[in-house]
Structure 1
Amino acid sequence: MRKLAVAIALSLFASFALAQAPAFPSRPVTLISPFPPGGSTDAIARIMAEKMRGPLGQTVVVENVGGAGGSIGAGRVARSTPDGYTIDIGQWDNHVANGVVYTLNYDLQKDFEPIGLLSMNPQLLLARKTLPVDDMKGLVAWMKANPGKANFANQQAAAQTAAVLMQQLTGTTVLLVPYRGGGPAMTDLMAGNIDLLAIQAAAAMAQVKAGTVKALANLAPKRSPAVPDVPSADEAGVPGLYLPGWFGLFAPKGTPKDVVAKLNAAMVQVLADPVVQARFKELGLDVASREQQTPEGFAAFHKAEIEKWWPIIKAAGIKAE
């Protein structure tokens, strides 16, 4: 009887404590941006953080945790308390490619709760303004005439994948130059210190429109509605030079479903805002479909991305630089 009484008391205490726990969120939420400031990931993180404050009723603080291709920032989230107060903005590099490129102390498929897909992001191949080429055919010809002279910014796994695929498809060679993120790489491209850069349109369109860099191709089979003036890889003459791009929100595994639901509801509300949609379009982003904005839709999308790209990355021999 004594054991039963203790068990009942503990159960009642737990129920009382749960009932007294403040509703989520009762304090600021930290959104980890796993790359340095100035890149496309940081830009979208700050848009979402500012706009999610309203529906959540709490400040969303962006914290840049760069390094190792975004794997340090993602690892910070994987090891965080699963209470919804630490989440990250993930993308193809740190939530797909890094599972092959790096030896991680966390599992990309098992240690995260997908919150929702934000956008599909065209990836552009850019050249410095002074490079004596105006299109992909001209680039390939110049590279063959100057073997090994072209340097290519290696700011993350996607860029390295693009460089390796381009070399394989065109029979050319490039020198990979490591960068900590898209922001520093773009700065050097604009200054003429680097020849080529593969980066999301969100981090490039302002410079492309200003004429400070050249957009040679959208690394996809077809043109994107978000960047209709940039030819696809197929049109540019290098079919198969494709690279995925997307943004999504993740929480640590074990985050309660009701907390994930609240974060997702805030995200969905922000993505439905015409002002945000216009801003995404201005940055060259396509807002994700409503189905993929759900945790379930994003989980299925993420699983399919891993199943598609891990074999390709392994076959191409992509390694951390």
Structure 2
Amino acid sequence: MMLSRRTALMAGIGLAAPLAAPRVVRAQPWPGRAIRVTVPYSPGGGTDVFTRVLAEGLHGVLGQSLIIENRIGANGVVGSQAVSRAEPDGYNLAVVTNTHTMNRYAMPSVPFDAVADFTPITLLSRFPMVLAVSGTTGVRDLPGLIAYGKANPGRLSFGSSEAATSYAGNEFARQAGLKMEEIAYRGGAPLMNDVVAGNLPVGWTSILSAGPYFTNERVRILAVTTRDRSALLPDVPSVREAGLPDYEFAGWYGMLGPAGLSPQIAETMNAAIVKAMAIPQYETRFRELGADMKTLGPRDFAAHLRAENSRWNEAAKAGLIKPLQ
């Protein structure tokens, strides 16, 4: 049978059959699978414990597991570097401390920019450092420590374990007008062991690291570094309250993603964190860890990181952060 000219032309240009509908690719809602969270510090440490509690709460809010990976090395640099190089898809995040911004001023080189190479998500909590003295010193309070240091110039040393405690001790010595030799330790545990043994007169460490020594008669916690007292040590004054009114310093935990992370993902995770931390059972556990529960979202956390970076730059120029060996 002969085809009409019109039918033949339509068949020749592929119009005889219906056109296929265009394929629509829809973005998968985040999170669609487990999220890996890097902790650049040892298992069982303060950052690790805090992050694991947070992960429990976030599992119920997000409906996805958070896999905690401890990547240890170079004062937190190894783990942070891995996240800085990860895909910015929301499935590779990190929980860091204030050493994240301090490291570039305490180390010969750091293979990333602590501000530009990351996306701020949430400042999770601030926490105090503590000033601990050995019971062998006979010192019972901060004015007594300052008086002892002035009466014995050059005989009073202090221990530090990373950039944050180095700054805490050096800034205290500067404001108190004391000459104190700094002794660097590889961690808070060996530092506190030497304080207990009487081998180190003064040590600076985080309130979580000092926790096991709160009731040890061979150690006295003289002060906390934050502006106000800590709920964990309500009878211990702040440094400023005990005699140095211009002294204030706080450590912090914060969640970051790689640079280029979607603002929507950052905001979604921040909202989930705020919700998880408000769940009564987790709020109680966070407060037991010394958390102040005062979070900052992506925009305010970004401003905080920039301010921290400027502060440590000036501190390093003034010699208040001892270079790590």
Which category describes the TM-score, using the shorter chain as reference length?
0.7 to 0.9
1:20-76 CA deviation, whole Å, 9 max, x = no partner?
A: x65433443222222223432222122112222222323222222233332232222
Provide the C-alpha distance between the structure 1 equivalents of 2:137 and 2:75, rounded to a whole number of angstroms: 27
- Matched residue, 2:278: 272
1:108-159 CA deviation, whole Å, 9 max, x = no partner?
A: 1211111111112122111234432111122223334544444433211111
1:134 maps to 2:140: yes
CA distance change for structure 1 residues 248 and 212 in 2, over 3 Å: closer, same or farther?
A: farther
Contact 2:142 2:242 in 1 (8 A): yes
Contact 1:205 1:284 in 2 (8 A): no
What pairs with 1:159-308 in structure 2 (closer than 5 Å)?
A: 159-209=165-215, 211=217, 213-224=219-230, 227-289=233-295, 292=296, 294-308=297-311
More helix by share: 1
CA distance change for structure 1 residues 45 and 160 in 2, over 3 Å: closer, same or farther?
A: same
CA distance change for structure 1 residues 208 and 64 in 2, over 3 Å: closer, same or farther?
A: same
SS of aligned partner of 2:186: coil
SS of aligned partner of 2:282: helix
Provide the C-alpha distance between the structure 2 equivalents of 1:234 and 1:131, rounded to a whole number of angstroms: 22
- Matched residue, 2:7: none
1:151-189 CA deviation, whole Å, 9 max, x = no partner?
A: 433211111112212222234333433333334434444
| RMSD (Å) for aligned C-alpha atoms | 2.7
Letter of the structure 1 residue corresponding to residue 129 of structure 2: Q
CA distance change for structure 1 residues 319 and 75 in 2, over 3 Å: closer, same or farther?
A: farther
CA distance change for structure 1 residues 214 and 283 in 2, over 3 Å: closer, same or farther?
A: farther
- Matched residue, 2:319: 316
1:155 maps to 2:161: yes
Contact 1:89 1:249 in 2 (8 A): yes
Give 1:306 deviation, angstroms: 2.7
Provide the C-alpha distance between the structure 1 equivalents of 2:72 and 2:200, rounded to a whole number of angstroms: 21
- Matched residue, 2:103: 98
Give 1:254 deviation, angstroms: 0.9
Provide the C-alpha distance between the structure 1 equivalents of 2:218 and 2:57, rounded to a whole number of angstroms: 30
Contact 2:43 2:70 in 1 (8 A): yes
Contact 1:35 1:180 in 2 (8 A): no
CA distance change for structure 1 residues 76 and 152 in 2, over 3 Å: closer, same or farther?
A: farther
SS of aligned partner of 1:133: coil
CA distance change for structure 1 residues 310 and 260 in 2, over 3 Å: closer, same or farther?
A: same
CA distance change for structure 1 residues 155 and 65 in 2, over 3 Å: closer, same or farther?
A: farther
Contact 1:126 1:216 in 2 (8 A): yes
Counterpart selection for 2:120 from 93, 114, 117: 114
Provide the C-alpha distance between the structure 2 equivalents of 1:276 and 1:210, rounded to a whole number of angstroms: 28
Q: Structure 1 length normalisation: TM-score? A: 0.82
Letter of the structure 1 residue corresponding to residue 103 of structure 2: N
The more displaced of 154-163 and 173-182 is 173-182
Contact 2:105 2:323 in 1 (8 A): no
Contact 1:143 1:172 in 2 (8 A): yes
SS of aligned partner of 1:83: coil
The more displaced of 248-257 and 209-218 is 209-218
Runs of 5+ consecutive residues of structure 1 not aligned to the other structure: 1-11
CA distance change for structure 1 residues 222 and 26 in 2, over 3 Å: closer, same or farther?
A: closer
Provide the C-alpha distance between the structure 2 equivalents of 1:70 and 1:93, rounded to a whole number of angstroms: 8
